Amino acid sequence: MAVKPPVAVSPPRAWAEINSSALRYNLRVAREAGGCAVMPVVKAGAYGHGLEEIARTLATEDIAFFGVANVGEARRIRNAGVNTRIYLLGATWSEEREEIVAQDWTPCLSSLEEARHFNVLAAEIGTRLKVHLAVDTGMGRGGFVAKDLPQILAELLTLEHLEIEGLGSHLPSADEDREFTLGQFACYEKVLAELGGADRFRWRHLSSSAGLLGYEAGSCNLTRPGLLLYGVSPLPEHQSKLKTVMTLKSRVTLIRTLPAGHGVSYGRSFVTTRPTRVATVGIGYGDGYPRHVSGNGAEVFIRGQRFPLIGRVTMDQVMIDVTEGPEVAEGDEVEMFGPNISVAELAVKASTISWEIFTGITPRVMRVYL
């Protein structure tokens, strides 16, 4: 006999549907457009899509590495039972390095100090650690400065417990400044030649999403896409090649008709000018729906149509003007972003970028994998 739960389980107010086959599709696009092996970037909980699930899904494809931001993310991938090689995208702290060596995760080096420390730790356990050199061709965030690297290489090569198998760099403006980016590609090729040529490095990589979509790979044989795997192209002209992965949804919790001259939400920045049917929807900035869209013409999608958001976004609820169009009812599903309202569109209205919208979706939002 079924036992009745003591309290009814309430359905989630806000959830994110994640389409795994669209993710796989976008990975294929990345592979074909870039013409290289792929390192899916899964930092920040796979851009809010759920690190473990996304890593498990992509690990069954032919991928070279997972790119993560820190050792905590690397651990979570291993704890999820995924054994794909892991690449650490940023600098490491000295306290983290023993674990990195023991686990054979792959760091990118920005300094001789780091390199010497990894060399000592690898020697202690009698191993040779595979490492990549990061070269700063213009990002200004990490790596050896391009013009310094050839002199440093000689010293790096004396570190016998390091196997330098890669050379990586990063593009800060591939979606904004073509000329500068082409200069970075040229700089990368020059450094590569000065270090002994492409044959010297098993892995050569420069491009994230925008770089791989918009530029020739040159001597590179690996790309590091993040955003495009999640269905958004930083270069709008390539958007139609990709499929939507995440749809952020909520439900109408309440419908009321307000008279003309009635304020809506905090600050009363919106006041009705006519009798208005207002749908209250169970999602807010506490779920990561950006408060900054308030007053900027954001829309949501209900029953096959767009409706305008009115008043300020509150922590748990938003209000939608449903006076016109199909009859909206309590309980109706609402698409906040997804196939009909793009993340990129929402990001513009929130004066931010798609990356920040994705990574801002909070833990309260249940991720549902399709």
Ligand X SMILES: *Cc1c(COP(=O)(O)O)cnc(C)c1O
Distance in Å, CB of 269 to ligand X, minimum: 33
For ligand X, the binding residue among 209, 272, 276, 280 (CB under 6 A) is 209
What minimum distance in Å lies between the beta carbon of 245 and ligand X? 13
Distance of alpha carbon 111 from alpha carbon 142, whole angstroms: 9
**At closest approach, how far in Å is the CB of 168 from ligand X?**
7
138, 225, 282, 338: which one binds ligand X (CB under 6 A): 225
Nearer to ligand X, 162 or 227 (CB): 227
The only residue of 54, 58, 89, 187 in contact with ligand X, by rule CB under 6 A: 89
DSSP secondary structure of 46-97: HHHT-HHHHHHHHHTS--S-EEESSHHHHHHHHHTT--S-EEE-S---GGGH
Q: Which residues are catalytic?
A: 43, 266
CA distance 175 to 76: 31
How deeply is 166 buried, as exposed, middle or buried, from its count of CB atoms within 10 A (0-12, 13-18, 19+)? buried
DSSP state of 10: P
Distance CA 281, CA 331 (A): 9
Cβ-proximal residue to ligand X, closest one: 226
Q: How far is the CB of 209 from ligand X (least distance, A)?
A: 3
Least distance between ligand X and beta carbon 271 (Å) = 40
Among 49, 130, 170, 249, binds ligand X (CB under 6 A): 170
Stretch that binds ligand X, among 220-228, 269-277, 341-349, 359-367 (CB under 6 A): 220-228
Alpha carbon 259 to its chain centroid, in Å, reads 43
Which positions from 292 through 311 interact with ligand X, judged by CB under 6 A?
none
Q: Binding residues for ligand X, how many (CB under 6 A)?
A: 12
Inter-axis angle of helices 51-59 and 20-34, nearest 10: 60
Task: Please give the Cα distance from 139 to 174 (Å, whole number).
Answer: 11
Which residues, other chains included, contact 318 with Cβ-Cβ below 8 Å and sequence gap of 6+?
280, 281, 283, 284, 289, 300, 309, 311
Asked if 42 contacts 23 with a C-beta cutoff of 8 angstroms, the reply is no
Restricting to residues 179-208, name those near ligand X by CB under 6 A. 208
| Residue of the chain from 49, 224, 251, 312 that contacts ligand X (CB under 6 A) | 224
Q: Cα(268)–Cα(285) distance, rounded to whole angstroms?
A: 18
Nearest approach, Cβ of 226 to ligand X (angstroms)? Answer: 3
Closest to ligand X by CB, 88 vs 149, is: 88
Of these, 58, 227, 246, 313, which contacts ligand X (CB under 6 A)? 227
Q: Which residue from 18, 22, 33, 41 is in contact with ligand X, where contact means CB under 6 A?
A: 41
For residues 28 and 187, give the distance between their C-alpha atoms in angstroms, rounded to a whole number.
Answer: 29
Choose one: 71-79, 91-99, 117-125, 223-231; the region binding ligand X (CB under 6 A): 223-231
Which of 138, 143, 226, 338 is in the footprint of ligand X by CB under 6 A?
226
Judged by CB under 6 A, does residue 48 bind ligand X? Answer: no
Quote the distance between the C-alpha of residue 370 and its chain's center: 19
Q: What is the DSSP string of 330-343?
A: TT-EEEEESSSS-H
Q: Which positions touch ligand X (CB under 6 A)? A: 41, 43, 89, 170, 208-209, 224-227, 234, 355
